[in-house]
Amino acid sequence: MPLDFSKITGPKTVDTLENPKEIFSALPNKEYNYLRDVQAEVLGQWFDKKEQKDIRLKMNTGGGKTIVGLLILKSCINRGLGPGVYVAPPSVPMTVRQRPC
């Protein structure tokens, strides 16, 4: 009688998934349970073109670039393309200067 290994393996985990949207869905203890529309769109388009080199992503301020970048990095690592590092500048407080009229 042959063994059916699919019955003894667990569900896919964050460390085995390649699609960044699926990785997000598998994350435990998320502050938000969904991606913003623009994040999901960018991740979907990236995943469709992931084999191309030098892909640039452009998103507006406050659009959720950090989570998108980290999910893409995790996807690349899960595909065996690591190690990797994600570098982002620290938040810089905005200073508003008022001039007298």
Average pLDDT score over residue span 22-40: 91
| Residue 89 clears pLDDT 90, i.e. is over it | no
Those residues whose C-beta lies under 8 Å from the C-beta of residue 30, and which sit 6 or more positions away, are: 24
Rounded mean pLDDT of 36-41?
A: 96
Q: Give the pLDDT score at 10.
A: 55
The pLDDT, as a whole number, for residue 1 is 45
State mean pLDDT over 45-60.
92
Mean pLDDT in residue range 77-99: 76
83 CB-near residues (< 8 Å, 6+ apart): 77
Rounded to whole angstroms, the Cα distance separating 58 from 15 reads 26
What CA–CA distance (Å, rounded) separates 93 from 39?
Answer: 24
pLDDT at 35: 95
What's the pLDDT at 97? 58
